[in-house]
Structure 1
């Protein structure tokens, strides 16, 4: 299910109309009652998390309820509620009653449901498509994605096979570009170069070339490479032709302070507080010379991509003045500030954008977290309530659905940190869940992993500097200023793994750069010796290490759409792997 959905252009979600079947398919999980989550609910969430935006809902087995209009409307109403909670837009989804056993409403309109007037769905806000059958929805409603056969090759690797007498086979789906037998490619981020493709095969047939849009399983494209070692290749890698490659795409002496990818993965925004410049990297065309936005008057401290590819949110790098605590909405097309957000009494330390709408969270050194609407200038929607027994600046982050956001703050005394979870639709009610991550639990985890009691004690008391949810919401990643990062259970707050900075943590406490990979499979951490470590998220074991920087890695970001990460240190502003 996951492998297929990850490369799908459209999802056809089928649900039974029979009594009891539909209810089981969309059931919510309840551990106390022993109820498992319905499979259709799981599939819908997976489709959304994996970026499948085009969806058709087929309500099957309508003959089992005698083609009841009331039953159809009941199922549609419940399904709409579920899809809205996940993040889909029901106006863009056709709902079709049909019977697979009898073939009703599959290819031709059935006469068994005279009440059914057909489906309608929006392709765009002003363009509505109508029809009756599932085939009509597939032919007329679904829009084929844009293919890019001329761009540099990008191929996420899904499987690797060693076949005796043949060699190593790498399987995957071409996302962009065109591959030919004899092409020389590279594999990143493992750093393998000059690997030759001997042949390209698809379902036991030899192909002359492979382009974008090939689907997996029967049509999965396999590439036979020479001299590729299995330990150097993993499913988090992707292959690329050696043309416009991504490497050290921005060089300079100014250290970058924050980096943020656009949700499409097309551009990377890099803030450099030292020279007050915002740099924009084109990630789909080999990097090239970055666009530079000079913000000498305001300065820049943090940056966050918005849903609009030509606009970003940023906090200024001003040391003094009445506007040093504001957040700005900037058009990078013409370097104009379109909106200004006032309210914090001290510098803004982080900005987090909702993945589903224009709301965003800002955390400040004044000890507050504010929720804003990026579409309107002015005051914040609210100042979030924090527990009374906290001290120090709070941290905030949305989960991948945008329905939940978390706020963490240090507990008074020497106990640890709170993580409070809020419903984004009812945040005024306060947190619906409160977790405590105790320092003694972190210390015990560090000691169990081999740290000395003294070092475990010191690391467990590092100040938190960032929190992030993985896409499933099951893990929360915590960055600190003491050369250590942690993952905790997203439901209970229990400590899962701790990752220590290699090469020493340095004499001055600085935030440890860390992030999840785009597929949730890895936790990526920057080290003091200039390397980047990739750990398995489930086991906490080191999977590989990337080398390229000559100084401490102080900034990391993962591309949300492609197997790509960006890192920076003092001598190289950004290195894209």
Structure 2
């Protein structure tokens, strides 16, 4: 992996390791990445608007953001410059996803209808519309290998699409709103079903058949905190690059890593503050409105680390290089291994809602009310700081 540079110097090949991840620092912060309306007597103060989704193109050269101000903005990852701002005032925008062309994206709508829109960044025009959902799209992913893509909606369906055809080519009906993910081969996809704590794995070629694996996500440690245990609310799914593991992002104070082959619960990631907390007269609920969570946790491209955001703005990094899959049949009462972050970096003010690592370069992006680009600080004094942090964390 080559680090991003903004001084024209040749990129140097490097691999991600603990020392490098400890030395990540914001190299550029875009404080005006979201438009906030000026305060007025007739407009209540609802807090700052946020970026709700980010996407890198396949080459890692560009980053696209979508925000609550109904804009999407394009940035150059090498130069660290803002390239253009486009608007979607009529339809709104959420879940931006580059296609395999760096000049075209798909995105979900937040108003007008529940359609998915195919947009040319070069011409600033819509190329096609994909209609069929009867509820807001809350999960959207491009196939890693072709022009297929998949969407999950509040209407409790998953639809399979192709960019070249406006009608859907596959439909799954589920008992609750789904969250979706492709594996790196594009041959398998996963569907998380909230309220039932189930993750269903399908063969892409036989999606109309029963899932070939059904995983139950159950954390026995939650009953030690409250009884009955607070339900797990899944907001994102993502496979590791080798397809062995499945990262389950959740709205509470823990994320989970599952064995994608056998369904074992391998690890519980802790140390962050869950993004979605709303106090009610009866209790504390953790059930987010999509667009406010779901992109706060992700793998690095080599799957050696997981990066994530937090309600307090911290950027956390978990080392997951030595995951061990339990032997024998799945035991839902087995206590998962608890993994704490090797570091909690100071990020930007407010909530860090989106955190992703560049697929090709040694840079990371985090977003909330602001957008930050992160690079490893290669100064000699940063090596001493990294060594001190590693000593504190232990082996």
The TM-score bracket by the shorter chain reads 0.7 to 0.9
RMSD: 2.7
Contact 2:270 2:340 in 1 (8 A): no
Shift of residue 472, structure 1, vs aligned partner: 0.7
Q: Distance in 1 between matches of 2:76 and 2:352?
A: 22
- The alpha carbon displacement at 1:250 in A equals 5.3
1:339 positional shift: 0.6
1:443 corresponds to which of 185, 202, 220: 220
* TM-score, length-scaled by structure 2: 0.76
1:284 equivalent in structure 2: 78
Counterpart residue number, 1:275: 69
Task: Report the CA distance shift for 1:155/1:249 in structure 2 as closer, same or farther (over 3 A).
Answer: farther
* Residue aligning to 1:255: 50
Q: Does 1:421 align with 2:201?
A: yes
Q: How does 1:26-37 map to 2 (within 5 A)?
A: none
Contact between 1:362 and 1:369, CA under 8 Å: does it hold in 2?
A: yes
Contact 1:518 1:563 in 2 (8 A): no
Cα displacement string for residues 417-458 of structure 1 (whole angstroms, at most 9, x for unaligned residues): 222222223323342x2222242xx133x67xxxx5329932
Deviation at 1:575, TM superposition (A): 4.0
Deviation at 1:485, TM superposition (A): 1.1
CA distance in 1, matches of 2:126, 2:374: 28
Q: CA deviation at 1:334?
A: 1.5
Change (3 A) 1:150 1:546: closer
> How many equivalent residue pairs?
329
Question: TM-score, normalised on structure 1?
Answer: 0.53
> Which residue number in structure 2 is paired with residue 523 of structure 1?
306
Question: Structure 2 CA distance, aligned partners of 1:456 and 1:467?
Answer: 25
Return the alpha-carbon distance in structure 1 between the equivalents of residues 27 and 11 of structure 2.
12
Q: 1:262 to 1:506 in 2, by over 3 A?
A: closer
SS in 1 for 2:167: coil
| Structure 2 partner of 1:453 | 225
Deviation at 1:262, TM superposition (A): 0.8
Cα deviation code 1:51-90 (max 9, x no counterpart): xxxxxxxxxxxxxxxxxxxxxxxxxxxxxxxxxxxxxxxx
Q: Which runs of 5+ in 1 are unaligned?
A: 1-5, 8-147, 161-169, 171-186, 193-244
Match status 1:190 vs 2:23: yes
Q: Aligned ranges for residues 106-505 of structure 1 at < 5 Å?
A: 151-158=8-15, 190-191=23-24, 246-249=27-30, 251=32, 252=34, 253=36, 254-272=49-67, 274-285=68-79, 287-318=80-111, 321=112, 324-376=113-165, 378-386=166-174, 390=175, 392-410=176-194, 416-431=196-211, 433-439=212-218, 442-444=219-221, 452-454=224-226, 457-458=229-230, 461-500=231-270, 502-503=272-273
Q: Between Structure 1 and Structure 2, whose CA radius of gyration is higher?
A: 1
Partner in structure 1 of residue 341 of structure 2: 542
Equivalents in 2 of 1:159, 1:313: separation in Å?
30
Unpaired runs of at least 5, structure 2? 37-48, 279-285, 324-338, 376-395
CA deviation string 1:169-199 (max 9, x = no partner): x9xxxxxxxxxxxxxxxx776147xxxxxxx
Q: Which residue of 1 aligns with 2:352?
A: 553
Give secondary structure in 2 for the equivalent of 1:429. Answer: coil
Of structures 1 and 2, the one scoring higher in RCO (CA 8 A, sep 6+) is 2
Give the equivalent residue in structure 1 for 2:332: none
Provide the C-alpha distance between the structure 1 equivalents of 2:315 and 2:228, rounded to a whole number of angstroms: 22
Structure (1/2) with the larger helix percentage? 1
Tell me how far apart the structure 2 counterparts of residues 350 and 256 of structure 1 sit (CA, whole Å): 16
SS at match of 1:425: helix
